[in-house]
Amino acid sequence: MNAIALWVLLVLWFVFSGNAMGLNISPRPSVVNVGAIFSFKSPIGSVEKIAIKAAEKDVNADSSVLNGTKLVITMQDAAGSYFVAIVEALQFMETDTVAIIGPQTSVTAHVISHVANELQVPLLSFAAKDPTLNSLQYPFFFQTAPNDQFEMTAIADVVDYFQYREVIAIYVDDDNGRNGVSALGVKLAERRCKISYKAALPPQATRSEILDLLVKVALLESRVYVVHMRIDLGPLIFSVAHYLGMISEGYVWIATDWLSTILDTFSPLDSDTMASLQGVLVMRQHTPESGKKSAFISRWKELVREEGLGSLGLNSYGYYAYDTVWLIARAIDAFFKSGGTISFSNDPRLQDAKGSNLHLEALSIFDGGKLLLSKLLQADMTGLTGPIRFDSNRHLPRPAYDILNVAGTGYRRIGYWSNYSGLSVVPPEQLYSKPLNESKFNQKLSNVIWPGETLSKPRGWVFPNNGKLLRITVPFRASYQMFVTQDKSTQIMRGYCIDVFVAAVNLLPYAVPYVFIPFGDGKTNPDYNQLVKMVAMNEFDAAVGDIAIVTNRAKIVDFTQPYIESGLVVVAPVKRKDTSAWAFLRPFTFQMWCVTGAFFVIVGAVVWILEHRINDEFRGPPRKQFITILWFSFSTMFFSHRENTLSTLGRFVLLIWLFVVLIINSSYTASLTSILTVQQLSSPIKGIETLLASGDRIGYQVGSYAANYLNEELGVPWSRLVPLDSAQAYAKALTDGPNNGGVAAVVDELPYVDLFLSQYCKFKIAGKQFTKSGWGFVFQRDSPLAVDMSTAILKLSESGDLQRIHDKWFARLGCSSQDTDIESNQLRLRSFWGLFLICAVASLVALAVFLLHMLYQFSRYGPPMNELARPQSSPSGRIQTFLWFMDEREESSRGRSKRTHTEDSSIGNSTREQASQGRSKTTHTGDTSIGNNISQ
């Protein structure tokens, strides 16, 4: 018996110690408790309750999960109260609850998460989506659905897709509303958009408060509204907006997923509610299609019937509620497999104060909380909502949203958004296997039926209906008043720039109420940089005038399309250049004269080489041949050469050269005629380069950006820059010159210079325009009016109205103000190098063919080396022989070759005769001897 008792004790120790043979095994309890906090009667809570019960039933029916331990989920109704939800969470902490599903709101989550951190009980919420509920501050809090950061990113992409730049955010002023709208502002800023106004409502807002807020909003410029609202207040917002006529053409409404929850849960809605939602864009959490999802949808009606809730629809929160239960179950199962035990201990710091009946000591710490937390972080499963696992920031993989458009009696899906592919018309899961393409050209959505049942995209903004005029500042100029100034008698702004602006405004498809406000005193030209800064600082809404589009200004404001070309040019005094005795040399540059002369000699030499062997006119003593080359070459200039060319190659080269000479003669004649008959103007200033190098003083117009450009970009010291305030001051300073207190040149914008030169003919533009810019109208950053005005300016240009306005103000009177290039008008080599190249190539080809022909003739008719005194084996001797052969007349070579051939033939015949005679004599002698022998 003692032995049996000993064996029993050993078995019990093995079972309960949990550390036998290196294994860590713990007993599983029969029940594990999980709490759930939500509002039963809310659209989210009513669906959540059914989904949680179904998941609890499925988990307990699956023997592969929890292995016999029953999952018990206790649900508490928060009844829409933040305080009740907090109290119920504390009550769960008094029981053996290992995890809590919820809370439903971010406000409650912020409070309860501190308790969860202290008592180490994980909170898992799919409805509290505040982006600030981060893992660093709340390590025991999990968001089991994508948080609002991703939804706001999707909305920002939609706003950017439709090219809106400003939105108005309407939200509840609580943690979820404020933090969600802040996330939207960040995402919009990344796309150069912004929230122009934040319209906050109290959590318990009344219809009257909503009415007052929307009336105020309607007076603002933007017509794009993003509604981030509680489910109970959202429909009331749209009801009041519909009452105010704000659900109509020209408005854009975007609602977060609260509206899709209502549409999915209570569809079909009543006609009044649907009328107030027509054209609204709605975000909905995307759940991919799968067999699990289809099976759950098929069960849904039966589950609703069991609860006796009528025709309750299934929304996306139902999927996430179901998956959250399975996530907890699998984490608890892994917790048990790792040796975790369900045990709680009291926190000695939680003690009731004297006389208190709160029973704080009942709150206990979950000893296995950290282990369960680690198992939740390691989760990797696939549920109704797709893959479920957490990254380092505890975000679910690849969050996505459906984009819905309310129309008729329901809604239709116009596209999808995911953090992988952005906007698309195909489900995100079909794009995950394809390469990432974040190009804007790849972003697509289907057509939208906007409020007012129109397919035309709303402009997204209007001028407010509060009687406020657009404040437009106009420079009050003292000089060049034809561009823009104020009529002193009528106080009306007038000028070329004003006419262009008015014509462009008249082309806009809407009325633009505005008032012109002069900037400056009219005695001196105003500072245009300061004028632009005042628009940027919201002191004015826009600026109209002769305002150049330059870099430092474009950084702080928006410009329209340029309506006139501009840029800096140099104006210098010029004087008539008298004709000199050597004027005939001026048509060509020195380089051109040298190259032309060289080609005359080269072509003459080439022709001589090609004609020398066959043409008597190109033969004779060396001195005569050299003179012939020069004479023939230069006589071709006048087509008076007397020597005839006999060879085909020579004629080919001469033909090409005569064509080149014809072009050169014609160009020379035309240039010389111009020099001798047209007035020639000269100036020591040839352009900006010579002006900078001269060291002389430079004039500029007061208020122009030219001074800053010369100083900052070109390094001209301020001591060299002289401010001038009128065209008369320009003329006087240029006439006096730098030696008499004036300036060497004036640097100003081209439109001013054109007007100046139309009145003062003794000044001209020196060199070329050295900057490129234009004049445009100024608007505040991201103003939508800038885009519409640019379109209107393009229409003015295409119709010809812009040119007609220009001609009205700047009809050419007096002397012409055409740009005069004071640089040398000599003919340069770059204008003729193609002709010289053709001639050179023709000459080289002819020489090459001639050389090959000569080598062939030399091999056939060349003299034998034994007739020459020079050594036969020397290479230089062979070259000298070849040159001698080339110098020899062709008939002589052939004749000598013929004579040599004849002599060789004679010698051969004589030798053959002698040999024949010898043979004959020998034969005769032999025959005689034979005869004698016979006779004997």
What pLDDT does residue 637 have? 66
566/710 Cα distance (integer angstroms): 16
645/457 Cα distance (integer angstroms): 81
Number of domains in the chain: 5
Amino acid at 332: I
Mean pLDDT along residues 446-455: 94
322/47 Cα distance (integer angstroms): 10
649 closest CA partner among 709, 588, 705, 603: 603
Structure tokens given for 654: 């001469």
**Bridge partners, residue 848, by sequence:** none
Q: Which of the pair, 936 or 180, is modelled with greater confidence?
A: 180
Element housing 268 (H / E): none
Amino acid at 529: N
Q: Which of the pair, 780 or 860, is modelled with greater confidence?
A: 780
What pLDDT does residue 24 have? 39
What is the per-residue pLDDT across 316-335, written as a single tens digit (0 to 9) for each? 999 999 999 999 999 999 99
Residues sharing a CB contact under 8 Å with residue 647, sequence separation 6 or more, in sequence order: 610, 611, 614, 615, 850
What is the number of other CB atoms lying within 10 angstroms of the CB of residue 781? 15
Domain contains 216: yes
Tell me, yes or no, whether 382 and 419 share the same domain.
no
Phi, psi torsion values for 359, nearest 5 degrees: 55, 50
Domain that holds residue 595: 583-677
Angle between helical axes of 833-861 and 590-611 (0-180°, round to 10): 20
Domain contains 519: yes
Domain contains 655: yes
195/211 Cα distance (integer angstroms): 21
What is the per-residue pLDDT across 583-595, written as a single tens digit (0 to 9) for each? 666 677 778 878 8
141/907 Cα distance (integer angstroms): 125
Tell me, yes or no, whether 656 and 686 share the same domain.
no
What pLDDT does residue 825 have? 53
881/374 Cα distance (integer angstroms): 103
Domain contains 589: yes
Domain contains 865: no
Tell me, yes or no, whether 160 and 269 share the same domain.
yes
Residues sharing a CB contact under 8 Å with residue 708, sequence separation 6 or more, in sequence order: 529
Examine the fold and report which residue of 630, 662, 677 is the final residue of a domain before the chain moves on. 677
Residue 837 exposed, middle or buried by CB count within 10 Å (0-12, 13-18, 19+) = exposed
Is there a contact between 290 and 298 (Cβ–Cβ < 8 Å)?
A: no
Residue 250 exposed, middle or buried by CB count within 10 Å (0-12, 13-18, 19+) = middle
247 closest CA partner among 279, 274, 222: 279
Is pLDDT at 404 greater than 80 in this prediction? Answer: yes
301/309 Cα distance (integer angstroms): 10
180/198 Cα distance (integer angstroms): 12
Model pTM above 0.85: no
**Which stretch of 424-433, 626-635, 783-792 has the lowest confidence by average pLDDT?**
626-635
Tell me, yes or no, whether 152 and 139 share the same domain.
no
DSSP 137-189: T-TTEEE-S--HHHHHHHHHHHHHHTT--EEEEEEESSHHHHHHHHHHHHHHH
Structure tokens given for 405: 């458009």
Amino acid at 844: L
Tell me, yes or no, whether 164 and 284 share the same domain.
yes
461 falls in which pLDDT band (50, 70, 90)?
confident
DSSP 673-709: HHHHHSPPEE-S--SHHHHHHH---EEEETT-THHHI
Domain contains 323: yes
For residue 505, the domain's CATH number is 3.40.190.10
Is pLDDT at 851 greater than 80 in this prediction? Answer: no
For residue 252, the domain's CATH number is 3.40.50.2300
Tell me, yes or no, whether 212 and 165 share the same domain.
yes
Structure tokens given for 18: 């949990």
What is the number of other CB atoms lying within 10 angstroms of the CB of residue 382? 14
483/247 Cα distance (integer angstroms): 45
Burial annotation 566-575 (CB, 10 A radius, 16+ → b, else e): bbbbbbbbbe
Tell me, yes or no, whether 152 and 276 share the same domain.
yes
Of how many residues is the chain composed?
A: 936
Question: Using omega within 30 degrees of 0 as the cis cutoff, is the peptide bond preceding 458 cis?
Answer: no
**Bridge partners, residue 195, by sequence:** 167
Mean pLDDT along residues 803-824: 64
130/128 Cα distance (integer angstroms): 6
Tell me, yes or no, whether 275 and 161 share the same domain.
yes
Tell me, yes or no, whether 655 and 757 share the same domain.
no
Tell me, yes or no, whether 548 and 599 share the same domain.
no
Element housing 447 (H / E): none
Residues sharing a CB contact under 8 Å with residue 373, sequence separation 6 or more, in sequence order: 120, 122, 139, 140
Mean pLDDT along residues 49-75: 92
Tell me, yes or no, whether 166 and 269 share the same domain.
yes
Domain contains 524: yes
In angstroms, the Cα distances linking 897 to 126, 425, 840, 904 are 113, 93, 35, 11
Is there a contact between 169 and 181 (Cβ–Cβ < 8 Å)?
A: yes
Is pLDDT at 362 greater than 80 in this prediction? Answer: no
Q: Tell me the percentage of the chain whose pLDDT exceeds 90.
A: 44
What pLDDT does residue 52 have? 95
What is the number of other CB atoms lying within 10 angstroms of the CB of residue 354? 5
- What does the mean pLDDT of the chain come to? 82
Domain contains 880: no
What pLDDT does residue 623 have? 73
Q: Which of the pair, 702 or 22, is modelled with greater confidence?
A: 702
Question: Using omega within 30 degrees of 0 as the cis cutoff, is the peptide bond preceding 427 cis?
Answer: no
Examine the fold and report which residue of 811, 838, 872 is the final residue of a domain before the chain moves on. 811
What pLDDT does residue 927 have? 44
Examine the fold and report which residue of 644, 677, 710 is the final residue of a domain before the chain moves on. 677
687 falls in which pLDDT band (50, 70, 90)?
confident
What is the per-residue pLDDT across 465-501, written as a single tens digit (0 to 9) for each? 666 788 999 999 888 888 998 887 788 899 999 999 9
Structure tokens given for 722: 């002289």
What is the per-residue pLDDT across 228-274, written as a single tens digit (0 to 9) for each? 999 989 999 999 999 999 999 999 999 999 999 999 999 889 999 99
What SS3 string covers 778-789?
EECCCCHHHHHH
Tell me, yes or no, whether 185 and 105 share the same domain.
no
Is pLDDT at 738 greater than 60 in this prediction? Answer: yes
656 closest CA partner among 513, 441, 836: 836
- Chain centroid to CA 10: how far? 77
CA angle 740, 746, 750 (to 5 degrees): 160
What is the per-residue pLDDT across 748-801, written as a single tens digit (0 to 9) for each? 999 999 888 888 888 888 888 888 889 999 999 888 889 889 999 999 999 999
Element housing 808 (H / E): helix 801-809
Is pLDDT at 652 greater than 70 in this prediction? Answer: yes
